[in-house]
A and B are shown apart, each in its own frame.
Chain A
Amino acid sequence: MSAILQLQGVSKRYGAVVASDNLSLHLNPEEALGVIGPNGSGKTTMFNIITGITVADRGQIFLAGTEITRLRAFERCRRGIARSFQIPHPFGGMSVLENLLVSAVFAQGESEKKVSHRCLEILEETGLLEKANVRAGSLTLLDRKRLELARALAANPKVLLLDEIAGGLTEQECRLLVEEITRIRSRGVSIIWIEHVVHALLAVVDRLVVINFGKKIDDGEPRTVMGSQAVKNIYMGPEGDAV
């Protein structure tokens, strides 16, 4: 199976800090891939490199077999990569619906008229329909998180990158989110999900990757990876030491 997204030997340094260290990773079509790793391990940097916000020092990135390493962020978005941000970044002065329209019109190159129905559907799916005309800057944090997901979906992505969207949700909200992401995947969208709420992640993902110090430490069946010595060593320290 050829990968929809592939990273080959990607490296990025910030001074002495190695945020991405010869990282190679693939995402299969219609796959949901989970990513875990301690704070500061380079997970969000990986998303920044995939989306073109950050330029890697070395390495290559391929989308559906085509190299996109040198494409700018907006070009990658138009080719089908969309993301949510860990700290929501809505267009605060626009309404919720307008936020989605910007994303849809820009990414799909269609007229507002053509995309507006789909945008309303997405608002309904993400529980924001009643707030379609509310100014995005006035939304609560939870609704801003919903808007992050909704706006990414409005770009009609082939590859959806989700950065910690389950944090702070109640159990019921978390269940709904898991259902929503499962639905998105069933429509053929491939997903990479960075998440610390591990039970939510394991309810969705087919495969789990562990990153530490910018390196891929483990990659495999989610529960096997969670039980691995590598994961315990990263979070708890090497066995036989203090813990």
Chain B
Amino acid sequence: MPFKLLETRGLMAFYGDFQALFGIDFQIEPGETIAVIGSNGAGKSTFLKSLVGLVRTKAETVSFDGQAIWGKPAYRIIAQGMSLVPEGRRLFPSLTVEENLSIGAYSRRKGPWNLDAVYTVFPVLKEKRILPGTALSGGQQQMVALGRALMANPKLLLCDEISLGLAPIVIREIYEQLERITANETTVILVEQDVKQAMAVADRVYCFREGRVVLEGRPSDLGREQITKAYFGV
């Protein structure tokens, strides 16, 4: 059986008494790009937050790189090699572009990503490195958020709605760079509401609805009607 970089079985997530995930079974192999699709409120972002320890969860198993990570705090999970690009970018407004990037390297993990490598992928960030992160355009801020996550040299990169609120041309540019990033043997889970975009880049796709996995497969094996039905549930 191939090695699973990440595996969850029966993952449930809660906000107070509000249950957002109902037993998610999920697997990803090294080098894979997986897209998680679903409408607003399906539990996609909660799933990513659950993996990095930002949400209260219960599970039979959550293992990452051969170790159980359930219940560990976020900083330990990052140190083990998982990084999240959060929805809405969440840059530190008082820090410059370069400081925002540098803070991503807090865990001091070794690997190919450093400031030079990020500036090579996103040259515009080098030009703007002394500006406050929030003074940049939406697309450039997204590049900072991606770069900050990469600075932790993750084995598994989690991207939450990186196309949200961006112009189509900017989305295309960011996804092109993402392909270069994944070529660097980084494994990626991509939460994306733009199904077409998600299917174009993913090796496999999971469709969530109301906190459950309702469809899973390779884009080439899934028909449009099948996805539509899973997505809406009608």
A residues touching B (Cβ–Cβ < 8 Å)?
Answer: 16-17, 38-40, 140-142, 164, 167-168, 170, 196-199, 202, 223, 226, 232, 235-239, 241-243
Contact = CB atoms under 8 A, between A and B. Distances in A.
6 contacts: A40-B165, A237-B195, A242-B196, A243-B219, A243-B224, A243-B227
B167 interface: yes
Interface residues of B, number: 31
Contact of B40 (A170, A196, A242): A196
A140 B234 contact: no
A242 B195 CA distance: 9
Which of A141, A142, A202, A235 has the most C-beta atoms of chain B within 10 angstroms of its own C-beta?
A: A235
Contacts of B164: 39-40
Nearest to B42: A196
Q: Which A-B residue pairs are the 5 nearest by beta carbons? A: A237-B196, A167-B41, A242-B200, A141-B18, A196-B39
A217 to B, nearest CB: 15
B65 to A, nearest CB: 31
Given A140-B18, A168-B20, A235-B228, A199 B196 contact: no
Interface in B184-214: 193-197, 199-200, 210-211
B2 interface: no
Contacts of B234: 198-199, 202, 223, 226
Contacts of B167: 16
B177 interface: no
B15 interface: yes
B198 to A, nearest CB: 9
Interface in B36-55: 39-42
Contact of B41 (A164, A223, A241, A243): A164
Contacts of B227: 236, 243
B19 A168 contact: yes
B127 interface: no
A199 B233 contact: yes
A202 B195 CA distance: 22
Given A164-B40, A199-B234, A242-B219, A140 B196 contact: no
B17 A142 contact: yes
A240 to B, nearest CB: 10
B106 interface: no
A198 B42 CA distance: 12
B232 interface: yes
B120 to A, nearest CB: 28
Contacts of B165: 17, 40
A238 B232 CA distance: 17
Contacts of A226: 232, 234
Contacts of B196: 236-238, 241-243
A236 to B, nearest CB: 5
A237 B194 contact: yes
Given A236-B224, A243-B195, A243-B196, 6 more contacts: A167-B41, A196-B42, A202-B234, A235-B228, A236-B195, A243-B199
A160 B56 CA distance: 34
A33 to B, nearest CB: 17
Contacts of A198: 39, 232-234
Contacts of B42: 196
A236 B193 CA distance: 9
B231 interface: yes
Contacts of B20: 168
A164 B219 CA distance: 30
B199 A196 contact: no
Given A140-B17, A141-B15, A232 B224 contact: yes
A16 B168 CA distance: 13
B173 to A, nearest CB: 16
Nearest to A239: B224
A197 B40 CA distance: 9
A242 B15 CA distance: 36
A198 B231 CA distance: 10
A197 B232 CA distance: 8
A149 B58 CA distance: 30
Contacts of A197: 41, 210
A199 B76 CA distance: 40
Interface in B128-170: 161, 164-165, 167
A124 to B, nearest CB: 21
Nearest to B222: A243
Contacts of B233: 198-199
